[in-house]
Structure formats: structure tokens, C-alpha cells
Amino acid sequence: MKITYFGHSAFRIDTDHSSILIDPFLSDNPHFKGDVADATEDVTHIALTHGHFDHVGDTVEIAKRTGAKVVATFELAQWISKKGVETIEPMNTGGTARFEDFSITLTQAFHSSGHVEEDGRVTYLGQPNGLVFHFDDGPTVYHMGDTDIFGDMALIEELHHPKIAMVPVGDRLTMGAAVAAIACRRYFDFETIIPIHWGTLPILDKDPKTFVEAMEGESSKVMTPKICEPFEV
């Protein structure tokens, strides 16, 4: 299984049978310097944590071009459908959807979700979520989405035992580095932690250094992959 980090909260996971995009904020992502079409070639699924612009990103264009199934909470999936995407897979918190060689479970996340329309109205797009991926031939991956710490993270560990985590650390819009470190230490037994949601917006922490420092004693678990360079797990 290969994982590619595109910066912010965006990833691509490639298995033998599937290619999954997570929160494909690419075109306006200052960390992403590649070509969107090349980076998203042959994708089969797009999984979204919530409806903010920096997570939905290029979803509509990619789904129309590739035919990828868009997996998202019900309201967000319906909104995507109204944009002309026919291949939606609506879900809701606690539910699991099974695909060829993996499944996705939506967990809770403490955040918000909506889209600012051209006239300034905000369209509500359902509850935000985290994403747990169980693979037939690979470790379980937990993308926390945008969230604060919450006590029921303990249940996510008990139910799913994720080994690879994508954890927001940039503060202001999510939990910051110190709180994210507490969440990782207190509730989980991760083998690899990828800090995300930093450095792409002016109000976010510029780098994950503070998180790495806060993980003192377990910093060996923290991985900061190079943008657009796949790594094997």
C-alpha cells in the first residue's frame, strides 16, 4: 500500500485494487506544486471529512473526470450530487461502507461543515467526520479530519485499533500541537502519526515542529512526508 501526502489534509492511498483521495484540496493548496490531473489519475474513490472549501477542494472536477465514487456524510454527498457528480456514496456518523478491498467508517469530529455560496449564504453540509479505513491487505488508517480532542477517541481506538493516523495540529481551526499530542498519547497506540492542517493558511501554525516537540519520547512515531512523494506502508 502506498500513501502520498499532498499537503494540508489531502492524501492519496493506493492499494492493489483501489486509489483513494482524501480531502483533495489541490488547486489552491500552496503546498501542492504538482499537476492535479496527474496526481489524481485513475482514482476510484474520494473520501471527504467535511464540507469546507479546503477539504472539498477539487472533488467535483476530479469525480466528473474520473468517475470516482464520492464518499461523504449525507448532506455533503447530496450537495456534491447537485454539482453534477453522479457517483456518490452517502453515509453518516458511525456507518461503514464496504468497497472492493477496503471499508470506510465515519467517526465523529468536533468541528463544523458548510460552504459559502457566491451570494454569501452558508449552506449547511452535515456533521463533520473523521475517516477510518480498514484495508484487506494493509494497516488501518485514521484520518481525524478537522477536530478538537474528545474523550470518545478512546472508543475509536477500542473499536478500530488504527495504526496510521493523520492528525490536525495547526491550531486556530483545529486542536493545536500540544492538545493533539495529548490525544495521540492518551487515547491511541499509533505506529505512525502524520501531522496535517498546518502551514497552508496564514492563521495556522507554519510547521509541525511544536507537535514533534510535544511528542517527546514518542517523536519517532511522527512522520513528515515530502509533498507528492509516495511512501510504502
pLDDT band at 105 (very low <50, low <70, confident <90, very high): very high
The DSSP code for 226 is P
CA–CA–CA angle 169, 228, 230 (5° rounding): 95
pLDDT in tens, 194-232: 999 999 999 999 999 999 999 999 999 999 999 999 999
Domains within the chain, CATH numbers bracketed: 2-224 (3.60.15.10)
- DSSP-derived 3-state class of residue 9: coil
- Residue-level length of the chain: 233
Residues forming beta bridges with residue 143, ordered by sequence position: 131, 166
Residues forming beta bridges with residue 157, ordered by sequence position: none
Average pLDDT rounded to a whole number, residues 178-191: 98
CA–CA–CA angle 87, 134, 164 (5° rounding): 115
Contacts of 97 (CB under 8 A, 6+ apart): 71, 89, 91, 103, 104
Which residue type does 60 have?
A: V
Contacts of 198 (CB under 8 A, 6+ apart): 169, 170, 204, 205, 206, 207, 208
**CA nearest to 182, candidates 229, 132, 129, 218:** 218
What's the mean pLDDT when you consider all of the chain?
98
Q: Residue 145: what pLDDT?
A: 98
pLDDT band at 173 (very low <50, low <70, confident <90, very high): very high
pLDDT in tens, 29-65: 999 999 999 999 999 999 999 999 999 999 999 999 9
- DSSP-derived 3-state class of residue 36: helix
pLDDT band at 97 (very low <50, low <70, confident <90, very high): very high
Residue with cell 510504502: 232
pLDDT band at 106 (very low <50, low <70, confident <90, very high): very high
pLDDT band at 147 (very low <50, low <70, confident <90, very high): very high
pLDDT in tens, 1-38: 999 999 999 999 999 999 999 999 999 999 999 999 99
Q: Residue 212: what pLDDT?
A: 97
Q: Residue 99: what pLDDT?
A: 98
Q: Residue 50: what pLDDT?
A: 98
Q: Residue 48: what pLDDT?
A: 99
CB-CB neighbours of 118 under 10 Å: 5
Q: Residue 82: what pLDDT?
A: 97
